[in-house]
A = this chain, B = another copy of it.
């Protein structure tokens, strides 16, 4: 049977493959990313990839699963702050902003891949989707509470949600130069667009 160290090494190799895959997914455009290239990037033979993952899809999904799990686990601790929807909302956004800043490539992938990807990969309710849904529910809940407490603009929470989603997305991922945005700039933004209600 496999030793502890063997299992750990195996996990490391898996990560090596996933990182390589992310690079390739990023550089080439998603569907143009080939197993051959991932293999080259990961410094393994193509056949070896199939020793660790059963398909290209699985690699894809695994990146999403791990990523969204990480997002969820990062914000989970701060979302139970009762009675302070705006602060909580901003805290959570900032946490995600920090993550994005640390690994822009991964997060751009996490936030954009679901749009681009074949919807066939969505069937079977993958793990990552669960985390994504949970996160959106939390945000929408905070918005609803914040709206009713007049801390946010008075409008339908789902629309506000979309606007903020777009805003956030635009701030980090649109534009030609995709340089990360500092925490200060981002807080500035949040305050300007959604934070200056009911406070002045």
Decide yes or no whether A189 CB sits under 8 A from chain B.
yes
Decide yes or no whether A81 CB sits under 8 A from chain B.
no
A47 to B165 alpha-carbon distance, docked (Å): 43
Decide yes or no whether A32 CB sits under 8 A from chain B.
yes
Contact B119 A193 (CB under 8 A): no
Given contacts A159-B189, A165-B174, 18 further A-B contacts (CB under 8 A): A29-B119, A30-B31, A30-B116, A31-B32, A116-B116, A155-B189, A159-B171, A162-B170, A163-B167, A163-B193, A166-B167, A166-B168, A166-B169, A166-B170, A166-B171, A167-B170, A169-B169, A170-B170
Known: A174-B162, A175-B158, A175-B162. A32 touches B118 (CB 8 A): yes
A25 to B35 alpha-carbon distance, docked (Å): 24
Contact with B along A148-178 (1 / 0, CB 8 A): 0000010100110111111111110011000
Contact with B along A24-42 (1 / 0, CB 8 A): 0000111110000000000
A117 to B163 alpha-carbon distance, docked (Å): 25
Set B31, B116, B153, B170: member contacting A192, Cβ < 8 A: B153
Contact with B along A125-157 (1 / 0, CB 8 A): 000000000000000000000000000010100
Decide yes or no whether A54 CB sits under 8 A from chain B.
no
A112 to B159 alpha-carbon distance, docked (Å): 20
A75 to B72 alpha-carbon distance, docked (Å): 42
Contact A174 B185 (CB under 8 A): no
